[in-house]
Structure 1
Amino acid sequence: MLYEVLHRVVPPLARAVWRPEVVGLDNVPRTGPVILASNHLSFVDSVVIPVLVPRKVVFLAKSDYFDGPGVKGTLSRVWFESLGMLPVDRDDTKAALTSLDTALSVLGRGEAFGIYPEGTRSRDGRLYRGRTGVAHLALTAGVPVVPVGLRGTEQIQPVGATLPRLAKVRVAFGEPLDFTGLVGTAPLGRLRREVTDTIMREIQLLSGQEEAGAYNERPVDA
């Protein structure tokens, strides 16, 4: 209920303020399970995408945002829940497996799930190698993947900034990728790698980023 109420207010207001350039929004299926796989430049990416997509997109967010004390903690929890986000404890050694199970549950309900194959946001603007969790989800759930390329979101709230700023933002949604016909054509590990690399190539074409050619590791204090 809260999501439906705020989604009628927040997206039009955000679009009016930031006036993003949006390309290919019609590529996002209006119904049915789908994965939105995006590059990751900023904390606000998980706000920008749900604001633009005309259906609920579930992202995972740090559990810290949901269990803070006092009024500030309550407001934070309500805000993130209203955006359709679900908490995950990134410091839990089983967090990766829990995240995949949560994502499969979301897709099993016929919803849209947002994921950043790089794992954490890029701090130098380059596109890092994708981790194969996105391929695991696509192949296991048998759902399409819509690649997303973000540009300029790192300028909305740069690292260290406490308040968002106006910035020129471009969000491009690519055509859905269907990998269901590939199941059983190669060893699963290799297939997941190939599917992930295909998704990352499409993201790179949409984002225009330089490829780093390596994995992006999450800083200890992130």
Structure 2
Amino acid sequence: MFYFAFRLVLLPLLRWLFRPRVEGVGRVPGAGAVILAGNHQSFTDQLLLGATLRRRLTFLAKQEYFTAPGLKGRATAALFRALGQIPVDRSGKDAARAALDTALQVLDREGVLGIFPEGTRSHDGRLYKGKVGVAAMALRSGAPVVPVAIIGTFEAQPKGRRLPRRVPVVLRFGEPLDFSRYAGMENERLVLRAVTDEIMYAVQRLSEQEYVDVYAAEARVAWEAGAAAA
């Protein structure tokens, strides 16, 4: 109830702030399990997606959103819990496996699961290499993957900016990707990599971002080290 009530409040605010243009949302199946896989440039990305879809959207969200200190941290944690978001512990393989199992429960209930395969926000607006968790979810659940590009949120609210600018935003949904040809191969490392790369290629075609074949977290560390040395 809180999710849809919040959506009714959030949608007019987001429309006023970003004037979002939505393209191809009808490509998201109206029923059944589905995974939305998109690029990640801003804190507002998942809010925009949640406000755009008629179906309830559950996101994998980094655990730091639930454990940040202070009033702002508590407010963020309360918001994410109320919206049914799933905290992801990124500290190791066991934690990742637990997050995967929780995500599969959403898909087993024929829900809509959202994920940003890059794993973190882009620090420079480029699209980075996807992590294979999205492929594991797709192959284990059999759910189609709908690629989605969110365009303009980096300019509106890049990482580190507290309040967003009023910038036009586009949400562009692609055709669902079917990976049933890989059924039973969810433990094959090369298959997971190939499926993930296919998803990221579809996102890149929609977003028209420059693609970097490096994980976003590693690129940010290198960028920060270079900035500190300069």
For normalisation by structure 1, the TM-score amounts to: 0.88
Give the deviation of 1:216 after TM superposition: 2.0
Q: Distance in 2 between matches of 1:115 and 1:185?
A: 21
Query: Corresponding residue for 1:31?
Result: 31
Richer in helix (by share): 2
Please say if residues 6 and 82 of structure 1, whose CA atoms lie closer than 8 Å, have aligned partners that are also in contact. Answer: no
Query: Corresponding residue for 1:211?
Result: 211
Q: Does 1:59 align with 2:56?
A: no
Give the AA of the match of 1:122.
S
Q: Distance in 2 between matches of 1:98 and 1:184?
A: 20
Query: Corresponding residue for 1:80?
Result: 80
Question: Secondary structure of the residue that 1:61 maps to in structure 2?
Answer: strand
Q: Distance in 2 between matches of 1:99 and 1:26?
A: 28
Q: Does 1:199 align with 2:205?
A: no
Q: Distance in 1 between matches of 2:68 and 2:211?
A: 37
Question: Secondary structure of the residue that 2:80 maps to in structure 1?
Answer: helix
Q: Distance in 1 between matches of 2:139 and 2:12?
A: 35
Give the deviation of 1:68 after TM superposition: 5.6
Judging changes above 3 Å, is the alpha-carbon distance between structure 1 residues 5 and 187 closer, same or farther for their aligned structure 2 residues? closer
Query: Corresponding residue for 1:43?
Result: 43
Q: Distance in 2 between matches of 1:141 and 1:173?
A: 21
Q: Distance in 2 between matches of 1:148 and 1:30?
A: 16
Q: Distance in 2 between matches of 1:53 and 1:60?
A: 16
Question: Secondary structure of the residue that 2:129 maps to in structure 1?
Answer: coil
Give the AA of the match of 1:41.
Q
Q: Deviations over 1:103-162 (max 9, x none)?
A: 111111111111111111211222111111111110100000000111111122223222
Please say if residues 136 and 192 of structure 2, whose CA atoms lie closer than 8 Å, have aligned partners that are also in contact. Answer: yes
Q: Deviations over 1:193-220 (max 9, x none)?
A: 2111111111000000111122222667
Give the deviation of 1:69 after TM superposition: 6.5
Higher mean displacement: 47-56 or 154-163:
154-163
Judging changes above 3 Å, is the alpha-carbon distance between structure 1 residues 9 and 201 closer, same or farther for their aligned structure 2 residues? same
Matches within 5 A, 1:3-152: 3-67=3-67, 72-91=72-91, 94-152=94-152
Q: Distance in 1 between matches of 2:130 and 2:21?
A: 25
Unaligned runs of 5+ in 2: 225-230
Q: Percent identical across equivalent pairs?
A: 48
For normalisation by structure 2, the TM-score amounts to: 0.85
Q: Distance in 1 between matches of 2:142 and 2:179?
A: 7
Q: Does 1:160 align with 2:160?
A: yes
Give the AA of the match of 2:203.
I
Unaligned runs of 5+ in 1: none
Judging changes above 3 Å, is the alpha-carbon distance between structure 1 residues 74 and 179 closer, same or farther for their aligned structure 2 residues? same
Please say if residues 33 and 112 of structure 2, whose CA atoms lie closer than 8 Å, have aligned partners that are also in contact. Answer: yes
Give the deviation of 1:187 after TM superposition: 7.7
Q: Deviations over 1:18-44 (max 9, x none)?
A: 211111010111221100000111122
Give the deviation of 1:13 after TM superposition: 2.9
Q: Distance in 2 between matches of 1:75 and 1:14?
A: 19
Q: Deviations over 1:172-198 (max 9, x none)?
A: 000111111332579822221211111
